[in-house]
Amino acid sequence: MADQLKGIWKDWRLHMLVFAIVALTEWIGVFSFTVGPGVVLLLPMLYAMLIGLGLFFTPVVKKKQALNAEPLIVLGVTLLIAKIGVIIGPSLPKLIEAGPALLLQEFGNLGTIFLALPIAVMLGLKRESIGMTHSVAREPNVGLIVDKYGFNSPEGRGVMAIYIFGTVFGAVFMGVISGFLATITPIHPLSFAMASGIGSGSMMAAASGSLVAAFPAFSDDIIAFAGASNLLSLSTGLYMSILIGLPLTEKMYTVLTRKKQRNAEIGKGA
Amino acid sequence: MLLKNIQEWTLLLLIFGVIAAVGNWVGYSVFPVSALPGMVVLILICLAGLILQHVLPVNIPSVAYIGIIGIIVSMPVMPGSEYVVKWTQDINILALATPILAYAGIAIGRSWTDFVKLGWRSIVVAMFVMVGTFLGSALIAEMVLRMQGLI
């Protein structure tokens, strides 16, 4: 990180743009609307990202700004982590009490295999679906798939597709669905707080941010649980994929495609 | 070299801190002067973590050090932790997230060409991947927390 940081503080065009985006979006504030029994919350951070993305296509943002913005995300995340740290400190006894839930919910990350893999196969995707659905496709998982199958394999293309979607729209998507799911299901906001830590700082911030906006009474507990779970996901995510996620996906893929083939044959016979 | 880096980190954290403090003022009505001590504490925690990562020979990401330092200085057994907790309470976490995503929006424009090449099927699957991961974890957490009687 050392070399790429040189002189970025001097990119005043970039910092003034972000300053203007932040002032504008925080002034607009949280916008929420109901969909049936649920609530969709749109947080300032979500508009901030979309405005930033939109500006990239105007002459205001040049390639230099887009390049310089990258290390600032990393540095901004360090401040976010420091803030999460000082929230966790005083609630450490509570976190230890909830330790079993925190550890076990990491296995819930395998939920993607049971939900998304059948859908991918149904949509006619072949071995791409293994790369796509074995995990939530953050950096360590991309590394694993590329290492095992190669970058230009169907599995490699699959994991890259989900990685790209997550990079561009992950935070916006998680921010919208976390508030919505927490208001339409009977599941407790603290359970969703733990689920928010899926191994990406910005997705965790967006998902837990919506929960905080929807349930301000639990604000500190939500952040402490989400932050602790995100740290756990970051440190266990890769091993979870190697030991359970990927073998399970391979196995389920074989079962699902065999069944599909058989159905197709029966279809032809009739 | 390290000194040069510390200088760069400090400047960038200060710029980020000022932007976040203004967001904290506009969005959460905390006047920047009262947010100042909390922001300084957070920046110092970050700097300590970044320096540790640079100095220690083990390859652990700086955010791990920063998280741990944050936890240690705010634990009730630490002398002075009550100030750390009180001051940092004035920094709303959402005010820190907004500038991160503003910078991220500008940076990810470069991934846009890759994004538009994705087919609709990939986008549908991607959404179910995220919902599946999120709901899976929430369901297990709910079961365990209920069994323990914590919720």
Q: For residue A192, what are the contacts with CB-CB under 8 A and spacing of at least 6?
A: A178, A181, A182, A207, A211, B134, B138, B141
Task: Let me know if residue A31 belongs to a domain.
Answer: no
The predicted model scores a pTM of 0.91
Q: Does residue A145 sit at the B interface (CB-CB below 8 Å)?
A: no
Q: Same domain, yes or no, for B68 and B83?
A: yes
- Position A267 scores a pLDDT of 66
Question: How many domains is chain B partitioned into structurally?
Answer: 2
Structure tokens at A236: 């266990």
Q: Same domain, yes or no, for B97 and B137?
A: no
Q: Does residue A265 sit at the B interface (CB-CB below 8 Å)?
A: no
Extended beta strands in chain A, E state = 31-35, 38-42
Task: Let me know if residue A24 belongs to a domain.
Answer: no
Q: Same domain, yes or no, for B79 and B150?
A: no
Q: Which residues between 47 and 66 in chain B have a beta carbon less than 8 angstroms from any beta carbon of chain A?
A: 49-50, 54, 62-64, 66
Q: Same domain, yes or no, for B31 and B7?
A: yes
Q: Same domain, yes or no, for B86 and B148?
A: no
Task: Let me know if residue A254 belongs to a domain.
Answer: yes
Q: Same domain, yes or no, for B137 and B82?
A: no
Task: Let me know if residue A208 belongs to a domain.
Answer: yes
Q: Same domain, yes or no, for B33 and B78?
A: yes
Q: Does residue A31 sit at the B interface (CB-CB below 8 Å)?
A: no
Q: Same domain, yes or no, for B101 and B32?
A: yes
A56–B110 C-beta distance less than 8 A:
yes
Boundaries of domain holding A152: 36-264
Task: Let me know if residue A3 belongs to a domain.
Answer: no
Task: Let me know if residue A252 belongs to a domain.
Answer: yes
Q: Same domain, yes or no, for B107 and B57?
A: yes
Query: pLDDT tens, A202-255?
Result: 999 999 999 999 999 999 999 999 999 998 998 888 999 999 999 999 999 999
The CA distance from A192 to A207, in Å, is: 9
A104–B45 C-beta distance less than 8 A:
no
ipTM value:
0.94
- Position A36 scores a pLDDT of 87
For residues B7 and A10, the answer to whether their CB atoms sit within 8 Å is: no
Boundaries of domain holding B63: 2-112
Task: Let me know if residue A19 belongs to a domain.
Answer: no
Query: pLDDT tens, A149-192?
Result: 998 999 999 999 999 999 999 999 999 999 999 999 999 999 99
Query: pLDDT tens, A128-145?
Result: 999 999 999 998 999 999
Q: Same domain, yes or no, for B144 and B76?
A: no
Q: Which residues between 153 and 212 in chain A have a beta carbon less than 8 angstroms from any beta carbon of chain B?
A: 158, 161-162, 164-168, 170-171, 173-174, 177-178, 181, 187-188, 190-192, 194-196, 198, 201-203, 205-207, 209, 212
Contacts of B21 in chain A (CB under 8 A): none
Question: How many domains is chain A partitioned into structurally?
Answer: 1
Query: pLDDT tens, A87-130?
Result: 999 999 999 999 999 999 999 999 999 999 999 999 999 999 99
Return the closest-CA partner of residue A41 out of A184, A245, A202: A184
How many Cβ atoms from other residues are within 10 Å of residue A139's Cβ?
14
The burial of A150, by beta-carbon neighbours within 10 Å (0-12 exposed, 13-18 middle, 19 or more buried), is given as exposed
Task: Let me know if residue A18 belongs to a domain.
Answer: no
Q: Same domain, yes or no, for B79 and B6?
A: yes
Confidence of residue B1 (pLDDT cuts 50, 70, 90): confident
Side chain identity, residue A139: E
- Mutate which of B69, B101, B118 to test chain A, going by most A C-beta atoms within 10 A? B101
Q: Same domain, yes or no, for B55 and B81?
A: yes
